[in-house]
Chain A
Amino acid sequence: MTRPLLVLGWGNRSRGDDALGPLCVERLRDALSQRDDVEFLDDYQLMVEHVLDLYGRARVLLVDASLGCAPPFETLQLRAAADGSLSSHALSPQALLQVYFELHDEPAPPCTLLAIRGERFELGQPPSQSALAHLDAALQWATGWLAWQASRQAATSTPGPTKA
């Protein structure tokens, strides 16, 4: 049985722009509370147990702050990769998919990364104004993406013509 689409964001709400991932999830959760085909999850870091949250999903949207992406945000279709984060508490999205593959002996469901540009990550600081503007743009994209996924799902679940 396929579980609902998952939106998983991560970061620390008290470390400046690191809050972008959880904030994005929170706002999407509030805006789409009527949809039962989407589940929302946020955490401090991407960790090994999240492979279990990915299991059985038709599709996953991962959301994080990024220092490296172009503003306001970038999206990326993820591929599994055994990168250096495998030797850390906090996994990269690519490494998470690699762990998924090794544990489940099959590729992870299609995962899209929404990387939102952040600038400062100091403890006790609120998100910067520029990061919040990036978040607004990212939310607009994510809302459209989720609507498109819903329409795709509806199309594929509509029964085809039956023989007379």
Chain B
Amino acid sequence: MTAQLETAAQPQGLRRVAIDPVSRVEGHGKVTILLDAQQRVQQVRLHIVEFRGFEKFIEGRPYWEVPVMVQRLCGICPVSHHLAASKALDHVVGADPITPSALKIRRLMHYGQVMQSHALHFFHLSSPDLLFGFDSEVNRRNIVGVAAAHPEIAKKGVLLRKYGQEVIRATAGKRVHGTGSVPGGMNKHVSAADREVLRREVQQMIAWSKDAVDIAKTLHAQNPALYDHFGAMRSHMLSLVRVDGALELYDGVIRARDADGALLFDGASDQGYLDLIEEEVKPWTYMKFPFLKSLGPEHGWYRVGPLARVQNCDFIPSPLAEGQRREFVDWGKGQPLHGSLTYHWARMIELLHCMEVIAELLDDPDILSGELMAQGPRRHSGVGVIEAPRGTLIHHYEVGDDDLVTMCNLIVSTTHNNQAMNEAVRSVAREYLDGHELTEGLLNHVEVAIRAYDPCLSCATHALGRMPLELTLLDARGAVLDRAQKSAEGGFRHLDTCAETGP
């Protein structure tokens, strides 16, 4: 455990290194590291800009607007918010269950979203580190470098991503700002023309997804010492599973296992999440730290996302992905895998599973016709839990008699992984930075550990020309000792520190 690195015993006199922002993750995150005079790591923290104000953005709106508006919370996983909000508000309009057609179209949309998100993360954001090495030339460590050295891999990534976007378009109505899912069901079927276009390519996409699993698996086999232990920490795991224990991303019951794989609880209703999970606030970051209530904040933190899901389930209900899961489990020799880089392998197994589910749903006639809307007794509250690409996503709303949302609570995937990412960063900092002169290559190890969780740190705001990466070394009084910058072209250089003062 590296928890003792959360707060240095005697911060006075330590040097501070900031990685700000962390690159190749969505949104703005910052890592600060305190070093003593011998370059030994004394404190490491990952600070994240929380979804501040998002609940306020939703409160006061009519409930039927919410599934559309929540898509604007995040430019990376808008469909996950769209569906989690819809699921929560299904309960408010008494639509539990929704109709078979609506359920299948929503599932198709969701698996398309997870597939395209996993493809983007693996091929675009992580493969440069994995294919070239964490210390490789920084100018090469990006999607252009991958395209130059491995053009077929890069093309497959882009085309898989595009296919997932087309699944979303066919189900949500548009590639972005989709309106397909509404409280109580769906407002459109998949058209026969769209289905045929998607079916034509589905076997190719499955084959490429299988190739992606093979890449991840091969990387592990080539360097097990690195892949099994980099950023490793023992943790509990939480996810939805189907009632029979199968991997399930759209809807299910909540299950948690401990670090040895033993069940902590199983079959819990998503409507009762507040009985299971509590959030701790720490003064040095805006992001909360969720934990299992039954175990308390110190021992109850857990991981979510592909690594948790693939190990939490009893089986994957699609043949190719299940075969891959069995190999994954065998790799652990009966024990859960806890290395942060194993997230990539698990993520690609899910990519393959998503494509198998998409293929099955495209053959289902219910996506073309059938009742789309259901309703029942009106309620004032609803919870929607979904397994988003990065992990468990919780939407909780209360709605007044005037149809306006009076309370909104969101726990997003990245928040669940907050403690785990901090632990991973501390583990890597202690192993790779301790006692060494800091270089861009070494600091990239810290980013690689965070990136494995594919965190979504903020949302879709942006403007041209804002993408700095600057490292600053300060003394205990805040005076700048050293500054280095990753330029717009990706170069790394030290900056003149004369006349600079720290914040």
B interface footprint on A29-65 (CB within 8 Å = 1, 0 otherwise)? 0000000000000111101110110000000000011
Name the residue on B nearest A89 (C-beta): B26
- Chain B residues 379 to 405 lying within 8 A of chain A, measured CB to CB, are none
Taking CB atoms, residues of chain B closer than 8 Å to A83 are 467, 488-490
Q: CA separation between A124 and B461, bound complex, in Å?
A: 11
Q: CA separation between A69 and B358, bound complex, in Å?
A: 44
Taking CB atoms, residues of chain A closer than 8 Å to B54 are 123
Query: Is B257 at the interface (CB under 8 A from chain A)?
Result: no
Taking CB atoms, residues of chain B closer than 8 Å to A81 are 489
Taking CB atoms, residues of chain B closer than 8 Å to A14 are 57, 69, 72
- Chain B residues 144 to 164 lying within 8 A of chain A, measured CB to CB, are 144, 147-148, 151, 154-155, 157-159, 161-162
Output the least CB separation between B186 and chain A (Å): 22
Name the residue on B nearest A82 (C-beta): B144
A interface footprint on B441-484 (CB within 8 Å = 1, 0 otherwise)? 00000000000000000011111111111000000000000000
Name the residue on B nearest A98 (C-beta): B144
Q: Within the complex, which residue of A18, A93, A103 is in contact with B154, where a contact is CB–CB below 8 Å?
A: A103
Query: Is B53 at the interface (CB under 8 A from chain A)?
Result: yes
Taking CB atoms, residues of chain B closer than 8 Å to A65 are 463-464
Could you tell me how many residues of chain B have their Cβ less than 8 Å away from some Cβ of chain A?
A: 53
Q: CA separation between A18 and B18, bound complex, in Å?
A: 28
Output the least CB separation between B301 and chain A (Å): 26
Output the least CB separation between A116 and chain B (Å): 10
Q: CA separation between A71 and B464, bound complex, in Å?
A: 14
Selecting from B40-48, B135-143, B195-203, B407-415, the interface stretch reads B135-143
Report if A49-B490 is in contact (Cβ < 8 Å); known contacts: A43-B176, A123-B459.
no
Q: CA separation between A123 and B23, bound complex, in Å?
A: 22
Taking CB atoms, residues of chain B closer than 8 Å to A67 are 463-466
Contact in complex: A82, B460 (CB < 8 Å): no
Contact in complex: A45, B486 (CB < 8 Å): no
Output the least CB separation between B79 and chain A (Å): 11
Contact in complex: A64, B24 (CB < 8 Å): no
Query: Is B56 at the interface (CB under 8 A from chain A)?
Result: yes
Report if A66-B463 is in contact (Cβ < 8 Å); known contacts: A45-B75, A47-B120, A98-B144.
yes
- Chain A residues 77 to 129 lying within 8 A of chain B, measured CB to CB, are 81-90, 92-93, 95, 98-99, 102-103, 115, 118, 121, 123-124
Output the least CB separation between B405 and chain A (Å): 14
Taking CB atoms, residues of chain B closer than 8 Å to A149 are none
Output the least CB separation between B361 and chain A (Å): 22
Contact in complex: A15, B144 (CB < 8 Å): no
Output the least CB separation between A26 and chain B (Å): 11
Query: Is A12 at the interface (CB under 8 A from chain B)?
Result: yes
Taking CB atoms, residues of chain A closer than 8 Å to B268 are none
Contact in complex: A52, B461 (CB < 8 Å): no
Query: Is B165 at the interface (CB under 8 A from chain A)?
Result: yes
- Chain A residues 141 to 163 lying within 8 A of chain B, measured CB to CB, are none
Contact in complex: B154, A102 (CB < 8 Å): yes
Q: Within the complex, which residue of A18, A49, A84, A89 is in contact with B463, where a contact is CB–CB below 8 Å?
A: A18
Report if A118-B463 is in contact (Cβ < 8 Å); known contacts: A14-B57, A88-B23, A102-B148.
yes
Name the residue on A nearest B70 (C-beta): A14
Q: CA separation between A43 and B125, bound complex, in Å?
A: 20
Report if A84-B155 is in contact (Cβ < 8 Å); known contacts: A18-B463, A66-B464, A92-B464.
no
Report if A87-B464 is in contact (Cβ < 8 Å); known contacts: A12-B72, A103-B158, A123-B57.
no
Name the residue on B nearest A17 (C-beta): B463
A interface footprint on B36-72 (CB within 8 Å = 1, 0 otherwise)? 0000000000000000011011000000000001001
Name the residue on B nearest A18 (C-beta): B461
Report if A44-B460 is in contact (Cβ < 8 Å); known contacts: A52-B158, A90-B75.
yes
Contact in complex: A103, B151 (CB < 8 Å): yes
Query: Is B124 at the interface (CB under 8 A from chain A)?
Result: yes
Contact in complex: B161, A49 (CB < 8 Å): yes
Query: Is B487 at the interface (CB under 8 A from chain A)?
Result: yes
Query: Is B78 at the interface (CB under 8 A from chain A)?
Result: yes
Report if A121-B463 is in contact (Cβ < 8 Å); known contacts: A52-B158, A84-B487, A84-B488.
yes
Q: Within the complex, which residue of A44, A69, A86, A92 is in contact with B144, where a contact is CB–CB below 8 Å?
A: A86
Query: Is B234 at the interface (CB under 8 A from chain A)?
Result: no
Most buried by A among B69, B76, B158: B158
Taking CB atoms, residues of chain B closer than 8 Å to A90 are 75, 462
Report if A84-B75 is in contact (Cβ < 8 Å); known contacts: A43-B176, A66-B463, A99-B144.
no
Output the least CB separation between B459 and chain A (Å): 7
Output the least CB separation between B276 and chain A (Å): 29
Output the least CB separation between B8 and chain A (Å): 30
Q: Within the complex, which residue of B57, B76, B158 is in contact with A124, where a contact is CB–CB below 8 Å?
A: B57
- Chain B residues 318 to 377 lying within 8 A of chain A, measured CB to CB, are none
Query: Is B175 at the interface (CB under 8 A from chain A)?
Result: yes
A13-B72, A87-B128 given; 14 more Cβ-contact pairs under 8 Å: A42-B176, A44-B78, A82-B144, A84-B23, A84-B467, A84-B488, A87-B23, A87-B490, A89-B24, A89-B120, A95-B144, A103-B158, A123-B54, A124-B56
The chain B residues found within 8 Å of chain A, CB to CB, are 23-26, 53-54, 56-57, 69, 72-73, 75-76, 78, 120, 124-125, 128, 139, 141-144, 147-148, 151, 154-155, 157-159, 161-162, 165, 175-177, 459-469, 486-490
Can you list 12 A-B contacts with CB-CB less than 8 angstroms, sorted by A residue number? A12-B75, A44-B78, A49-B162, A52-B162, A84-B489, A87-B128, A88-B467, A89-B75, A99-B144, A121-B461, A123-B73, A124-B53
Q: Which 5 A-B pairs have CB atoms at the shortest separation, nearest pair first?
A: A44-B75, A102-B147, A86-B142, A14-B72, A12-B460
